[in-house]
Amino acid sequence: MTEIDAATRTELEAAAFRTLVAHLRTRTDVQNIDLMNLAGFCRNCLSRWYREAAEAKGIALPDPEAREIVYGMPYKEWQAKYQKPADSAQKAALAKSHPGH
């Protein structure tokens, strides 16, 4: 396995994160519920992980700001533009894979 020092690994991980966020911003057709059902996480999870990482560093980052980092716009704006109502099959799959979510 290729040896990578800690600083370079962090830079590579950050680059991968930025690429993932950019990709999710362009794939507005992919609904969060579909991400949850297929991958077990969604844009909201990603923004929560970002907020939690900030908090671990002593940085207070409110959820709306963390979500804007991931969504590229205020969450409510993204919802209004791109979020579609979940159908019964999507809701059933979410209930089965993530009870209480």
Residue-wise pLDDT for 38-68, tens only, equals: 999 999 999 999 999 999 999 999 999 999 9
| 95 found inside a domain | no
Taking the C-alpha atoms of residue 76 and residue 14, their distance in angstroms, rounded to an integer, is: 26
| 101 found inside a domain | no
Q: Across residues 78-86, what is the average pLDDT?
A: 96
Q: What is the CATH number of the domain that holds 46?
A: 1.10.3340.10
| 18 found inside a domain | yes
Q: List the structure tokens of 27.
A: 């794939």
| 96 found inside a domain | no
| 1 found inside a domain | no
Specify the number of domains making up the chain.
Answer: 1
Q: What is the pTM of this model?
A: 0.89
* 2 band by pLDDT with thresholds 50, 70 and 90: very high
pLDDT of 101: 67
- What is the share, in percent, of the chain residues with pLDDT greater than 70? 99
- Calculate ∠ Cα 25-30-23, nearest 5°: 30
* Domain range for 24: 6-89
